[in-house]
Copies of this chain bind each other. A is one copy, B any other.
Amino acid sequence: MLRQTITIKDIARELNISVSTVSRALRDAFDVSLETKQMVLEKAKELNYKPNYNARGLSQGKTNNIGVIIPFITNYYFSTVITGIQKIAYEYNYNIVLYLTNDAEERECQIMNNLILSGLDGILISTCASNYDHIHKIMDKGVPVVFFDRTNSLNASKVKQDDYNGAFEATSHLISQGFTKIAHITGPKDQMFTQNRLNGYLNALEHHNLPVRKKWIIHNGFSQECGAQDLQKLMAKSKKPEAIFAVNDRKAIGAMVELKQQNIQIGKDFGVVGFTNDPICTLITPTLTTVSESAFEIGSIACELLLKHIQKENLIPKEVILPGELIIRESSMRSSTVVKKADLP
């Protein structure tokens, strides 16, 4: 079975009209008669005609493909963002070309330099890079880029959660629960969102007149394992904290696993707050207090913004910051010995 493609030429020949007329009819142009249009559409369906996007792209200079570049996809946040992106992209008939950087700057550069780029109308990116040359190059070529989650100082549209205030609230909440010795376990220093959450943490301490101990701020990777490591480091110190605010739920959970290992009562003796509101927060015991991120909305808004940039050459960059919400659960409640009905007298 050979891949015999039906083109507008076939339709034109069968109908004894010219290709341009067929093209017009297919694109629902204004200057075609209703009858010919219907004739063409019928014939197209009959022959099971599919447009060749390569050809269309070549002649129009666009592809209806947008690139999405993210570190990973195996976590709640990014997979939900993608779902949000997909919804909008699908509505507007755009396809998503997915790239995973594995959180490696080099890989991200490779992807952006060597590959495609001619095949993409625009790019949505959560960058893991500290140097932005590769991104600059693309933007200079006139390819619209919208950043989300992990943003930076470049002059482009950005969509993200409110990292600073989320962190501020999270930390303040721990303080309101009577925890004063609060550590922060976070990611690499050169990420802006990491920096913002750190600032939120620091300012919350300051605001409540609590001292900052630099030794209680641990920079490490973003994974659950890193969270566990961080907690070990903290508890090995001479001055131990009695609560932590983690940069994300993964690390918070790693810390919780380690705390359980060390037989420390989470909630009562040690407060834990994460960031993201991964569904796992409600499944782990004790349930994890966190700051929710509107991942789906971040994806859909970022995509809408990108499509606008694609449509309008010199749209002024816009920065959208979505508020988070502190969701209080057991892991941060001093009084949270869960009382089950069955345990009541």
Question: Residue A54 at the B interface, CB < 8 A?
Answer: yes
Min CB distance, A344 to chain B, in Å?
11
Residues from chain B with Cβ under 8 Å of A142 in the complex: 1-4
Question: Residue A189 at the B interface, CB < 8 A?
Answer: no
Complex Cα spacing A86 to B93, Å: 23
Task: Evaluate contact between A98 and B96: CB separation under 8 angstroms.
Answer: yes
Total A residues in contact with B, Cβ cutoff 8 Å: 57
- If A50-B118, A53-B118 touch, whether A79 touches B74 (CB-CB below 8 Å) is yes
Residues from chain B with Cβ under 8 Å of A263 in the complex: 340-342
Please tell me which one of the listed residues B3, B57, B100, B283 contacts residue A86 in the complex, with CB atoms under 8 A apart. Answer: B100
Complex Cα spacing A68 to B83, Å: 14
Residues from chain B with Cβ under 8 Å of A82 in the complex: 73, 98, 100
Interface residues of A in 292-345 (CB under 8 A from B): 340-342
Known interface pairs A53-B116, A79-B79; 4 further A-B residue pairs with C-beta atoms within 8 A, sorted by A's residue number:
A3-B61, A3-B143, A54-B54, A283-B283
Question: Residue A55 at the B interface, CB < 8 A?
Answer: yes
Task: Evaluate contact between B48 and A52: CB separation under 8 angstroms.
Answer: no
Question: Residue A140 at the B interface, CB < 8 A?
Answer: yes
Question: Residue A39 at the B interface, CB < 8 A?
Answer: no
- If A97-B95, A119-B53, A119-B54 touch, whether A73 touches B65 (CB-CB below 8 Å) is no
Which A residues contact B (CB, under 8 angstroms)?
1-5, 48, 50-55, 57-58, 61, 63, 65, 68, 72-76, 79-80, 82-83, 86, 93, 95-100, 115-119, 137, 140-143, 224, 253, 257, 263, 279-280, 283-285, 340-342
Residues from chain B with Cβ under 8 Å of A342 in the complex: 263
Complex Cα spacing A76 to B95, Å: 23
Which chain B residue lies CB-closest to A100? Answer: B86
Task: Evaluate contact between A83 and B55: CB separation under 8 angstroms.
Answer: no
Min CB distance, A5 to chain B, in Å?
7
Task: Evaluate contact between A115 and B93: CB separation under 8 angstroms.
Answer: yes
Please tell me which one of the listed residues B48, B63, B80 contacts residue A74 in the complex, with CB atoms under 8 A apart. Answer: B80
Which chain B residue lies CB-closest to A53? Answer: B119
Min CB distance, A144 to chain B, in Å?
10
Which chain B residue lies CB-closest to A74? Answer: B79
Residues from chain B with Cβ under 8 Å of A137 in the complex: 48
Please tell me which one of the listed residues B50, B58, B96, B100 contacts residue A52 in the complex, with CB atoms under 8 A apart. Answer: B58
Min CB distance, A330 to chain B, in Å?
12
Min CB distance, A314 to chain B, in Å?
9
Which chain B residue lies CB-closest to A118? Answer: B52
Min CB distance, A309 to chain B, in Å?
13
Min CB distance, A78 to chain B, in Å?
8
Complex Cα spacing A263 to B51, Å: 59
Min CB distance, A21 to chain B, in Å?
21
Task: Evaluate contact between B100 and A97: CB separation under 8 angstroms.
Answer: no
Residues from chain B with Cβ under 8 Å of A58 in the complex: 52, 54-55, 58
Complex Cα spacing A53 to B117, Å: 9
Please tell me which one of the listed residues B51, B97, B341 contacts residue A118 in the complex, with CB atoms under 8 A apart. Answer: B51
Task: Evaluate contact between B95 and A119: CB separation under 8 angstroms.
Answer: yes
